[in-house]
């Protein structure tokens, strides 16, 4: 048989092909770089923001400086206290699930801890200024929000924790905090009232039927109008707390899932048996894309927080038992409950994307340097 003639590739065709390859590689590099940049930017800005420590004040649903006054069938989850004042009225008909502390050692210490917490919240660096802006109708991510004057809420404020139960929201009001009738603080995607803090420079007033969430720390007084419900605490340093048929609950604070750590064990499995290399008569070998034929040690865990990084190999070359991409929980960067410093999506994927982008860019550069070739085959 005469050999089949090979195609002749002209210089123009080679140049066109080269330009197409360069364009494809260039676009791939750009796409991967953009993806890597976006991925790296997904680490939340709240990562290093710890919760405000309340100390012994944490056990109180209501704490006042001068008096606590109640009207109607209010309920308080937790302790009720006052210091340095001693006056508490309206219980009953109000109900307290905890203990009443009237300027005793517990109330005095709680006020000291409240003062510390108040200063801590006030000193946090501001993430976003909301001065002169009503909080109603907004959806905010974790961070520190400051209004240097009076903070107002009309309608619904939504706080989105992005799936992190350790996410912290801190609001700093230079003077007053006021909510309109029917205002609401909505917590979504894991946000917890125990990690929402309102530091108020003077007094806070919640309008009728407000559904509120978080711990209010007011320098002076706190007034809860008729029908106000609070998931959290109302803590006044110097003035009074006034209530009117209110429901105050202090739900337990769920911790973020702990890190599973890094696998430290060494795979101990040893391949056994000898694979047969003799083919039956008349059989043909069909190449496949399965690289697992033949003996081999188990593959180690991947980039994530795997439960078991590696496993023993077997005769058929199966992978190890650990799957590093799905074995452990993903925890946001710097979560105070875990101390991990990985992003919510972990860092391995970002490194891979950037590495691939670099390879694609080098490929494009190589194609440019090589230039067109006149290829003639016979």
130-179 confidence digits (pLDDT tens): 999 999 999 999 999 999 999 999 999 999 999 999 999 999 999 999 99
63 and 211 part of one domain: yes
DSSP 291: T
Whether the pLDDT of residue 67 is over 50: the answer is: yes
Shared-domain flag, residues 86 and 113: yes
DSSP 103-170: SSHHHHHHHHHHHHHHHHHHHSPPSEE-TT---TT-EE-SEEEEESS-EEE-SEEEEE-TT-TT--EE
Whole-number pLDDT of residue 311: 40
- Kindly indicate the confidence band of residue 357, based on its pLDDT and cuts at 50, 70 and 90: low
pLDDT of residue 202: 99
Whether 284 shows a pLDDT value over 80: the answer reads no
Cβ neighbours of residue 287 closer than 8 Å, sequence gap 6 or more: none
Residue 259 within any structural domain of the chain: no
Mean pLDDT computed over 61-87: 98
Question: 141: Cβ–Cβ under 8 A, 6 or more apart, which residues?
Answer: 44, 45, 46, 160, 162
Q: In whole angstroms, give the CA distance from residue 77 to residue 178.
A: 23
Token pair for 116: 């510390």
In whole angstroms, what is the distance from residue 95 CA to residue 98 CA? 9
Q: Are residues 88 and 229 in the same domain?
A: yes
> Are 136 and 161 in a shared domain?
yes
Query: What is the Cα–Cα distance from 68 to 239, expressed in whole angstroms?
Result: 9
State yes or no: pLDDT of 332 exceeds 90.
no
Same domain? For 134 and 97 the reply is yes
Q: Is residue 268 in a domain?
A: no
Asked if residue 89 lies in contact with residue 61, where contact means CB atoms within 8 angstroms, the answer is no
Indicate the pLDDT class of residue 371, thresholds 50, 70 and 90.
Answer: low
Whether this model's pTM surpasses 0.85: no
Q: How many domains does the chain have?
A: 2
Is residue 325 pLDDT above 50, yes or no? no
* Residue 319 forms part of a structural domain: no
Query: Do residue 36 and residue 62 come from a single domain?
Result: no
pLDDT value of position 280: 43
Q: Which residue has the higher pLDDT, 187 or 22?
A: 187
Mean pLDDT of all residues in 243-262: 76
Tell me: pLDDT of 214 over 70.
yes
Whether residues 36 and 153 share a domain: the answer is no
State in Å, rounded, how far the first CA of the chain is from the last one.
15
**Residue 173 and residue 150 in contact, taking contact as beta carbons nearer than 8 Å:** yes
**What tokens were used for 283?**
């059989």
Q: Which of 195, 217, 249 is the last residue of a domain?
A: 249
Are 85 and 20 found together in one domain? Answer: no
- What whole-number distance in Å separates Cα of residue 208 and Cα of residue 245? 10
Q: What is the pLDDT of residue 73?
A: 98
- Mean pLDDT, residues 36-43: 40
On whether residue 277 sits in a domain, the answer given is no
256 belongs to a structural domain = no
Selected residue with higher pLDDT from 260 and 211: 211
Say yes or no: 21 and 128 in one domain: no
More confident residue, 242 or 375: 242
Q: Which of 249, 277, 298 is the last residue of a domain?
A: 249
Instruction: Clarify whether residues 92 and 236 are in a common domain.
Output: yes
Structure tokens belonging to residue 74:
């209010």
Q: Are residues 182 and 94 in the same domain?
A: yes
Strand partners, 211: 184, 229
How confident is the model over 30-44, as a mean pLDDT? Answer: 40
Residue 34, pLDDT above cutoff 60: no
- On average, the pLDDT of the chain sits at 73
Range(s) of the domain holding residue 365: 14-43+343-378
What is the pLDDT averaged over residues 319-333? 40
What mean pLDDT is predicted for residues 67-88?
98
Q: Do residue 228 and residue 354 come from a single domain?
A: no
Where a domain ends, among 249, 276, 294? 249
For residues 50-70, give the mean pLDDT: 98
């Amino acid at each position: 048989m005469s050999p089949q003639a090979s195609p002749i590739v002209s210089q123009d065709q080679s140049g066109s092909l080269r330009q197409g390859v360069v364009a494809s590689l260039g676009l791939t590099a750009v796409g991967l770089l953009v993806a890597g940049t976006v991925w790296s930017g997904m680490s939340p800005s709240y990562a290093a923001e710890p919760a405000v420590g309340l100390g012994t004040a944490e056990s109180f649903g209501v704490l006042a400086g001068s008096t606590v006054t109640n009207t109607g069938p209010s309920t308080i989850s937790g302790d009720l206290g006052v210091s340095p004042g001693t006056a508490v009225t309206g219980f009953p008909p109000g109900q307290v699930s905890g203990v009443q502390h009237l300027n005793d050692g517990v109330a005095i210490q709680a006020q000291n801890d409240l003062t510390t917490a108040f200063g801590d919240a006030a000193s946090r660096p501001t993430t976003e200024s909301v001065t002169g802006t009503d909080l109603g109708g907004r959806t905010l991510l974790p961070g520190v929000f400051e209004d240097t004057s009076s903070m107002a809420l009309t309608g619904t404020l939504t706080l989105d924790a992005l799936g992190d139960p350790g996410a912290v929201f801190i609001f700093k009001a230079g003077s007053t905090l006021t909510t309109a009738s029917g205002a609401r603080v909505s917590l979504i995607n894991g946000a917890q009232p125990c990690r929402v803090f309102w530091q108020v420079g003077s007094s806070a007033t919640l309008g009728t039927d407000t559904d509120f969430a978080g711990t209010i720390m007011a320098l002076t007084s706190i007034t809860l109008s008729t029908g106000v419900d609070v998931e959290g605490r109302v803590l006044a340093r110097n003035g009074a707390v006034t209530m009117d048929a209110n429901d105050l609950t202090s739900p337990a604070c769920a911790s973020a899932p702990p890190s599973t750590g890094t696998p430290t064990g060494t795979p101990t499995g040893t391949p056994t048996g000898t694979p047969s290399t003799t083919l039956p008569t008349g059989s043909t070998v069909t190449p496949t894309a399965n690289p697992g034929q033949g003996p081999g040690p188990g593959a180690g865990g991947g980039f994530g927080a795997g439960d078991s990084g590696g496993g023993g190999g077997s005769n058929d070359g199966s992978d190890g038992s650990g799957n590093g991409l799905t074995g452990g929980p993903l925890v946001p960067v710097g979560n105070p409950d875990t101390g991990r410093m990985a992003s919510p999506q972990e860092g391995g994927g970002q490194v891979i994307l950037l590495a691939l982008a670099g390879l694609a860019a080098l490929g494009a550069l190589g194609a440019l340097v090589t230039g067109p070739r006149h290829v003639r085959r016979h």
